[in-house]
Amino acid sequence: MQANLREHIEKIIPLTDDEFAFVNSHFSSRKFKKHQFLIQEGDPVKYSYFVISGLLKLVYTDGNAKEHIVSFAMEDWWESDYYAFFTQSEATMSLQCLEDTEVLCCSFEDYQKLCNGLQKMERFFLEKATFGFLGSQRRIISWQTSNSKERYEQLLKQYPSLFQRVSKSLIASYLGVSRETLSRLSS
Amino acid sequence: MQANLREHIEKIIPLTDDEFAFVNSHFSSRKFKKHQFLIQEGDPVKYSYFVISGLLKLVYTDGNAKEHIVSFAMEDWWESDYYAFFTQSEATMSLQCLEDTEVLCCSFEDYQKLCNGLQKMERFFLEKATFGFLGSQRRIISWQTSNSKERYEQLLKQYPSLFQRVSKSLIASYLGVSRETLSRLSS
């Protein structure tokens, strides 16, 4: 499976050929190998990434050097350390490849140019941000209301393909349960 | 303390008097008494609310009829069941007054008219949605990385005034801990 930027945007808002050419000129393509970092904690965050193919993990490392998976990003997803991206500050998270990955990169300057230059793109990003917020809110409710078994089943139902692509330790880290608990749940 | 819509918007984007008059014409003011519902589960969600004064709780009730506080909203905050608002579907949450509350109401139709009629307002809502997403992401990381004592201290530090205005049971529900655990933490 390979994502396509134009199809992705046009799920929300139709673009003319000229408009898409304008949009496309604000992105550059890059390929990364499995294990490579797109963002490392402490670095400036230059880009928001749209995943064409592959799989990424966004990781927050706590004071005890324990890694927590904040999110996964696969084909058709956007990912970055967005707090650092939007405030143009240093990364507090890392973004790393779990597979060989191809992304389209959009710098903060180009993001602003897109919003200012084409109102349709501002509408597109408003829709993405709104549904990003709603997805996070749903996840908070899931933490509040569900035990680890239920959260595991919700994730399996929502993203069955993820379970073929990542290790159980990473799923456990995303769900906030121990590897042992997860083994019990998934056996 | 009383919030002011113009000052609130102008923290992000300056408006001329004519522009603010246009914006203001898309809002209506309403007052609710303590305990009154702005949104009840199962009802259509007509409005997004900007809180002028007072305090609201957004509540998700699980299958065992247990209430979970998804968020509080006080002066200068926006609140609604946003999934239902944006998809124009029935509420899965309720929004209720914890104090006598005055709000400005914006219907979904007026929200769209504002975005279409004044690009500055689309920019404003993009910024609110983006930072709403970032706030939720921070809260997810807090659930992943912190125990209940730490989450309690973070909340106290971030919103000290909340602790004067709401009961310990509500704080416990927001943090996802039992009332007994919270008493232990706050003693």
The residue of chain A with its CA nearest to that of B131 is A83
Chain-wide mean pLDDT for chain B? 94
Contacts with B89 from chain A: Cβ below 8 Å: none
| Neighbour count for residue A7 (Cβ, 10 Å) | 9
**Cβ(B133)–Cβ(A80) below 8 Å:** no
Query: Terminal CA-to-CA distance of chain A, rounded, Å?
Result: 29
In which band, very low, low, confident or very high, does the pLDDT at B147 lie, cut at 50, 70 and 90?
confident
Shortest CB distance from A143 goes to which of B82, B145, B176?
Answer: B176
pLDDT-derived band at B168 (thresholds 50, 70, 90) equals confident
**B107 has which bridge partners?**
B47
* Contact in structure between B57 and B72 (CB atoms under 8 Å): yes
Q: Does residue A139 lie in a domain region? A: no
pLDDT exceeds cutoff 80 at B185 = no
Closest residue in B to A66 (Cα–Cα):
B145
Neighboring chain B residues of A140 at a CB cutoff of 8 Å: 70, 136, 139-140, 143
Pairs of residues, one from chain A and one from chain B, whose beta carbons lie less than 8 Å apart: 90
User: Is A126 contained in some domain?
Assistant: no
CA distances from B161 to A162, B31, B182 (A): 42, 22, 17
Q: Do B145 and A86 touch (CB under 8 A)?
A: no
Amino acid in the structure at residue B120: K
Report how far residue B69's alpha carbon sits from residue B93's, in angstroms, rounded to the nearest whole number.
10
Please tell me which of the candidates B62, B131, B140 has its beta carbon nearest to residue A140: B140
ipTM for this prediction? 0.92
Does A167 reside within a domain?
A: no
Cβ distance B137 to A136 less than 8 Å, yes or no, reads yes
Let me know the angle formed at the C-alpha of A138 by B124 and A180, rounded to the nearest 5 degrees. 135
Domain range for B99 is 1-118
Q: Which amino acid is located at A64 in the chain? A: N
Q: Which residues contact A15 (CB under 8 A, 6 or more apart)?
A: A6, A9, A23, A120
Q: Phi first, then psi: what are they for B70, rounded to 5°?
A: -80, -45
Kindly state the percentage of chain B with pLDDT values over 90.
79
| Residue A32 distance to chain B (closest CA, Å) | 25
In a domain, A64, yes or no: yes
Q: How many domains does chain A have?
A: 1
Q: Would you say residue B181 lies in a domain?
A: no
- Cα distance between residue A133 and residue A113, in whole Å: 23
In 3-state terms, what secondary structure has residue B8? helix
DSSP characters over chain A: ----HHHHHHTTS---HHHHHHHHTT-EEEEE-TT-EEE-TTSB--EEEEEEESEEEEEEE-TTS-EEEEEEEETT-EES-HHHHHHT-B-SSEEEESS-EEEEEEEHHHHHHHHHH-HHHHHHHHHHHHHHHHHHHHHHHHHHH--HHHHHHHHHHH-TTHHHHS-HHHHHHHHT--HHHHHHHH-
The verdict on a CB contact (< 8 Å) between B82 and A125 is: no
Phi–psi pair at A100, nearest 5 degrees: -55, 135
Q: Are B82 and A136 within 8 A, CB to CB?
A: no
In a domain, A138, yes or no: no
Taking an 8 Å cut-off on Cβ atoms, the answer to whether B141 and A60 are in contact is yes
Model confidence band, residue A180 (pLDDT cutoffs 50, 70, 90): confident
Kindly list the distances between the CA atom of residue B45 and the CA atoms of A19, A133, B40, in Å, as whole numbers in the listed order.
35, 18, 9
Bridge-based pairing of strands A28-32 and A55-61 is unpaired
Q: Inter-chain contact A141–B70, Cβ cutoff 8 Å?
A: yes
Range of lowest pLDDT (A19-28, A99-108, B68-77, B138-147): B138-147
Contact B129, A129 (CB under 8 A): yes
CATH number of the domain within which B36 lies: 2.60.120.10
The answer to the question of residue A165 being in a domain is: no
Does the pLDDT of residue B36 top 90, yes or no? yes
A83-97, A162-176, B16-30, B107-121: range with lowest mean pLDDT: A162-176
Domain-embedded: residue B139: no
Q: How confident is the model at residue B13 (pLDDT cuts 50, 70, 90)?
A: very high
Q: What pTM value is reported for the model?
A: 0.93
User: Average of pLDDT values for B65-94?
Assistant: 96
Task: Compute the radius of gyration of chain B from its Cα atoms.
Answer: 17
The whole-number pLDDT of residue B187 equals 66
User: Are residues A133 and B138, on separate chains, in Cβ contact within 8 Å?
Assistant: no
pLDDT at position B146 over 80: yes
Report the pLDDT averaged over residues B10-25: 97
pLDDT tens-digit readout, A105-115: 999 999 999 99
Helices A168-175 and A179-186 cross at an angle (nearest 10°) of 110
Beta bridge pairs of residue B67: B61
What does the alpha-carbon distance between residue B101 and residue B36 come to, in Å, rounded to a whole number? Answer: 9
Distance CA B151, CA A135 (A): 21
What percent of chain A shows pLDDT beyond 90?
A: 79
Contact (Cβ atoms closer than 8 angstroms) between residue B128 and residue A131: no
Can you say whether residue A88 is alpha, beta or left, with left for phi > 0 and alpha for psi between -120 and 50 degrees? left
